[in-house]
Structure 1
Amino acid sequence: MTMPLVVGVDGSEASLEALDWAADEADRHGVPLHLLHAEAGESESSDVIATASLRAAGRAPSVPVSSEVLQEDPAVALIGRGRNAFALVLGSRGLGDLAGMLLGAVGLAVAARADCPVVVVRGAADNRQSRFGRVIVGVEEGEGSGTAVRFACREARVRRCLLVAVHAWNRPPGRSPVSPPARWYAPQAPRRPPAQVLDDALRGAAERIGELVVTRQVIEGPARPALLNAATEADLLVVGARRRRGHTGLQLGLINHALLHHAPCPVAVVPQI
Structure 2
Amino acid sequence: MSGLVVVGVDGSASGMAAVEAAAREAGWRGADLRLVHAFIWPAMHVQLGPSPLGPPEGGLRNMVERLLTEAEERARSLAPEVDISRAVVPGEPLTVLQAQSRAADLVVVGSRGMGSFVGLMVGSTAVHLAAHGRCPVLVVREEGEVTGPIVVGVDGSSAGAGAIAFAFTEAALRGVDIVALHAWTTWNAPMPAPQDEAVPYANEPEALAAQEGRLLSEALAGYQETYPGVSVKHEVVHGGTREALIEASRKAQLLVVGARGRGGFAGLLLGSVSQAMLHHAHCPVAVVRSPDNSR
**TM-score band, normalised by shorter chain:** 0.7 to 0.9
| Residues 1:206 and 1:213: Cα distance change in structure 2 (over 3 Å) | closer
State the AA in 2 paired with 1:209: Y
Contact 1:90 1:107 in 2 (8 A): yes
**Aligned equivalent of 1:168:** 183
1:119 counterpart residue number: 138
For 1:2 and 1:141, the matched residues in 2 are separated by 30
- The Cα offsets for residues 221-259 of structure 1, whole Å up to 9 and x where unpaired, read as 110010011110111000012499996xx6312111110
Matching residue of 1:8: 8
Q: Distance in 2 between matches of 1:139 and 1:158?
A: 20
Cα distance, 1:160 vs. partner? 1.0
Cα deviations by residue, 1:137-183 (Å, 9 ceiling, x for unpaired):
0001322221110110011111111110000000259x99994233x
| Residue aligning to 2:128 | 109
2:161 aligns to what? 146
Change (3 A) 1:235 1:123: farther
The answer to whether 1:78 aligns with 2:97 is yes
Structure 1 pair 109–177 and aligned structure 2 pair: CA distance change class (3 A): farther
Quote the sequence identity (%): 37
Shift of residue 204, structure 1, vs aligned partner:
4.3
What is the number of residues matched between the two proteins? 259
Q: Calculate the aligned-residue CA RMSD, in Å.
A: 2.6
Point out where structure 1 has 5 or more consecutive residues left out of the alignment.
186-191
Whether contact under 8 Å (2:13, 2:142) holds in the other structure is: no
Specify the structure having the higher radius of gyration (Cα).
Answer: 2
Q: Distance in 1 between matches of 2:130 and 2:187?
A: 31
Q: Distance in 2 between matches of 1:87 and 1:5?
A: 5
- Residue number in structure 1 paired with 2:36: 36
Q: Distance in 1 between matches of 2:94 and 2:31?
A: 23
Distance 1:223 1:253, change over 3 A: same
CA distance in 1, matches of 2:173, 2:160: 20
Match of 1:90 among 92, 102, 109: 109
Give the alignment partner of residue 241 of structure 1, picking from 259, 276, 280: 259
Structure 1 residues 122-149: Cα deviation after superposition (integer angstroms, max 9, x where no partner): 2632xxx2422x1000001322221110
Query: What is the TM-score when the length of structure 2 is the normalising length?
Result: 0.81
Seen in structure 2, the aligned counterparts of structure 1 residues 179 and 245 have a Cα distance that, compared at 3 Å, is closer
TM alignment of 1:57-68, pairs within 5 A: 57-68=76-87
TM-score (norm 1): 0.87
Residue identity in the other structure for 2:16: L
The 1-side partners of 2:2 and 2:232 are apart by 29
Structure 2 counterpart of 1:270, from 288, 291, 295 = 288
Structure 1 counterpart of 2:147? 131
Aligned to 1:181: 206
